């Protein structure tokens, strides 16, 4: 059986990411003809009973076009202003186009904080599933108008992968301005070859990825490889294709050998551990000794105070910490049962000594194995 057929023949939930370079002309104005064709394909997919989330860039680009700016704004306030203007334009356009095919569109604006906070992460998940039940196509974007970090460091490749894992999608389609992943940069090497399938993301695959994207977008091929790591580790198939190609979404779903297909992990991470690994905001670090390293990595044990060498940063109990070796290598992340000042007092001690030092013992473990993700 063809590898794509194995994973895509029974797709029921798809996340489609459209980048700024696909959505806009080089002038910065929206490419309405292309967007209309993509909306038609997405609507047709929805008619087949497939649930859809559309992660759409383009708010800043739409704002640039509306303001008549010649270049992408350089400062954060200018980007935020363009995003605030452009997001309304973008949603109005989608609502109008989807309604022509009898579809209802909803909007969810997400920030990194929304997925870092466990309660808000689960609330977002519940909202998506409720919209699926009502037959709604949800349009997602970063809340660029107010979140500095999302504009400065964020990209919708990563966001779309996080959303795909959050909703447990079968497939993530990244629509880009390039045919897929090449073995070298096709812009500088005319002999570069398209990689059709990636079964595992190796260092060689990562070296094949370049840097920054276009003048209107923020994500280059490197961000797409990072997105592939997030998606495939959650058991989501991913494909990178050129959004300018006619009927490209239909081609992907109809199992045509287009773009670069990333094979999902056969044993995906549990949703909670995936959240810990990719979506969390790290508040501090716990440095562990060699004995703890072996217990965590080889035996999947909980982290006890006896295995902790030192504490870095200030954090409260219930927050996410990074677990590292004395060499600074991160081996995992977890939710701590004690705050940093408490761990500082009980590090290297046995569990039966905790109460004598602190005057109480709420837990034996600093980080329980059920609240930990080991890489």
> Does 202 carry a binding-site annotation?
no
Q: Is 208 left (phi over 0), alpha (psi -120 to 50) or beta?
A: alpha
Residue 28 per-residue DSSP state: S
CA distance between the termini of the chain: 31
> Does 223 carry a binding-site annotation?
yes
Residue 303 per-residue DSSP state: B
Chain centre to alpha carbon of residue 37:
26
Q: Map tokens 């000042």 to a residue.
A: 341
Question: In this structure, what token pair is assigned to residue 368?
Answer: 């329980």
For 238, phi and psi rounded to 5 degrees?
-140, 145
* DSSP H/E element including 273: helix 271-278
- What's the rounded Cα separation, in Å, for the pair 274 and 12? 21
Question: In this structure, what token pair is assigned to residue 256?
Answer: 């045509």
Q: Which residues are CB-contacts of 355 (< 8 A; sequence separation ≥ 6)? A: 361
Residue 137's DSSP bridge partners are: 105
> Does 144 carry a binding-site annotation?
yes
Question: In this structure, what token pair is assigned to residue 106?
Answer: 């909803």
Q: Are strands 284-288 and 308-312 parallel, antiparallel or unpaired?
A: antiparallel
CA distances from 86 to 6, 28, 62, 81, 142 (A): 40, 12, 5, 9, 12
Whose CA is closest to 249, among 172, 167, 196?
172
> Does 310 carry a binding-site annotation?
no
> Does 222 carry a binding-site annotation?
yes
> Does 273 carry a binding-site annotation?
no
Q: Is 259 left (phi over 0), alpha (psi -120 to 50) or beta?
A: left
Q: Are strands 330-335 and 320-324 parallel, antiparallel or unpaired?
A: antiparallel
Q: Map tokens 């104005």 to a residue.
A: 29
> Does 156 carry a binding-site annotation?
yes
> Does 219 carry a binding-site annotation?
yes
Binding residues for substrate: 57, 144, 156
Binding residues: 17, 57, 144, 156, 176-177, 218-224
Binding residues for ATP: 17, 176-177, 218-224
């Amino acid at each position: 059986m063809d590898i794509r057929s194995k994973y895509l023949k029974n797709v029921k939930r798809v996340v489609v990411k459209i980048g700024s370079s696909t959505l806009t002309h080089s002038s910065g104005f929206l490419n309405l003809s292309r967007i209309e064709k993509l909306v038609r394909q997405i609507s047709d997919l929805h008619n087949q009973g497939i649930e859809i989330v559309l992660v759409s860039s383009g708010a800043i680009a739409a704002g640039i076009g509306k303001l008549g700016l010649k270049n992408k704004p350089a400062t954060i306030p200018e980007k935020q202003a363009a995003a605030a203007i452009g997001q309304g334009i973008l949603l109005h356009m989608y609502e109008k186009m989807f309604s022509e095919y009898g579809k209802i569109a909803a909007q969810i604006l997400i920030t990194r904080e929304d997925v870092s906070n466990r309660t808000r992460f689960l609330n977002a998940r519940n909202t998506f599933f409720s919209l699926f039940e009502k037959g709604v196509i949800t349009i997602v974007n970063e809340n660029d108008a107010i979140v500095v970090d999302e504009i400065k460091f964020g990209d919708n490749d990563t966001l779309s992968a996080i959303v795909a894992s959050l909703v447990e999608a079968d497939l993530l389609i990244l629509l880009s301005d390039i045919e897929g992943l090449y073995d070298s940069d096709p812009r500088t090497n005319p002999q570069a070859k398209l990689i059709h399938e990636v079964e595992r993301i190796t260092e060689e695959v990562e070296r094949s990825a370049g840097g920054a994207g276009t003048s209107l977008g923020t994500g280059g091929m490197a961000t797409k490889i990072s997105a592939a790591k997030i998606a495939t580790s959650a058991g989501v198939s991913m494909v990178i294709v050129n959004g300018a190609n006619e009927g490209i979404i239909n081609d992907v779903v109809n199992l045509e050998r287009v773009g670069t297909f990333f094979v999902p992990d056969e044993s995906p991470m549990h949703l909670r551990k995936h959240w810990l690994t990719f979506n969390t905001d790290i508040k501090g670090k716990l440095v562990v000794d060699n004995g703890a390293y072996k217990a965590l990595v080889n035996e999947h044990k909980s982290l006890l105070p006896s295995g902790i060498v030192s504490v870095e940063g200030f954090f409260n109990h219930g927050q996410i910490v990074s677990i590292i070796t004395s060499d600074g290598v991160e081996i995992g992340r977890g939710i701590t049962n004690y705050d940093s000042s408490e761990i500082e007092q009980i590090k290297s001690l046995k569990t039966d000594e905790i109460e004598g030092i602190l005057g109480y013992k709420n837990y034996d473990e600093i980080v329980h194995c059920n609240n930990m993700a080991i890489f």
